[in-house]
Amino acid sequence: MPVGVAAWPEGTDDLPAVARMTVTVDALRLESVSRGLDERPPLPHGTRSPTAAAATPAPTPTATPTPEPTAIGQLYVTTALNVRSGPSRDAEVLAVLARGTEVAVTGTTEGSWTQVIHEGVAAWVNSEYLSETKPAEETTTAGGGISYAECASGSAAEDGLTPDAIRVHRAVCAEFPSVTSYGGTRSGGGEHSVGRALDIMVSSSSLGDAIAAFVKANYRELGVSEVIWSQQIWTVERASDGWRWMEDRGSATANHYDHVHVTVYGNSGG
């Protein structure tokens, strides 16, 4: 800290007094500075400069496991029936159950569909073809449990049909007695004109689904080569491809939405 010295022209006798004054001023100045330092409040213990808080990562959501289906009872299949992956006739067909098959149901329904347990997983079938009682055994049957008895409605539709087409008519007639309208031989060329095709008229899409599944499941015994239903085609030659979509022909009948068309080989079944 600087120290000031003053000189007076009158003489040097007053120099000690001036020096004492300077020292006294400097002492007061030091005392003031020292007191200012001593009176400054101390920083709180542990205080440090604020820093940005570390970002806490959001918790990873835990996926809710899909509960396994639980059976609450058993029902019986009253006809050959598609087992589908979802409650829609557009859903994938997982299997075809034979008439009389017992299935486990979960109690869940959606519209006209019932949820069942198929090979340990949830699947769907049409509720219309489930029953609490097992259907009676067929009394007049051929190999494979298919009935070839003459239809109660008569055999007029069989005129001109080949043996395989007659087998299809009688088997469907016995399995689906509600069907009363069939289309057999007709002019115009194609399989119908030579007795190798049969049209099975249906009143609902669910009935058509069931008939198409029944014929497809028994194609070998019935001598079937091809099934067309709901603008889709299935053939023995390309059986591994399943149902294949067809081009739009312009009407419900031409697209086979009101009937199941079955083509046969001629006489290879039985």
Predicted pLDDT at 140: 43
Predicted pLDDT at 90: 82
- pLDDT band (50, 70, 90) for residue 93: confident
Q: What is the pTM of this model?
A: 0.51
Predicted pLDDT at 209: 95
Least confident of 23-27, 119-123, 176-180: 23-27
DSSP single-letter state for residue 158: G
Q: Are 94 and 123 in contact, with CB atoms under 8 Å apart?
A: yes
Least confident of 22-26, 80-84, 162-166: 22-26
169 vs 186: CA distance, rounded Å: 16
175 pLDDT above the threshold of 90: yes
What torsion, rounded to 10 degrees, do the Cα atoms 141, 144, 145, 146 define? -60
Average pLDDT over residues 152-167: 88
**Residues in the chain, total:** 270
71 pLDDT above the threshold of 80: yes
Task: Kindly tell me the number of DSSP H helices and DSSP E strands found in the chain.
Answer: 5, 13
Please name each of the domains of the chain with its CATH number. Answer: 73-131 (2.30.30.40), 143-264 (no CATH)
Place of tokens 């029944």: 214
pLDDT single digits (tens) 77-88: 876 678 889 999
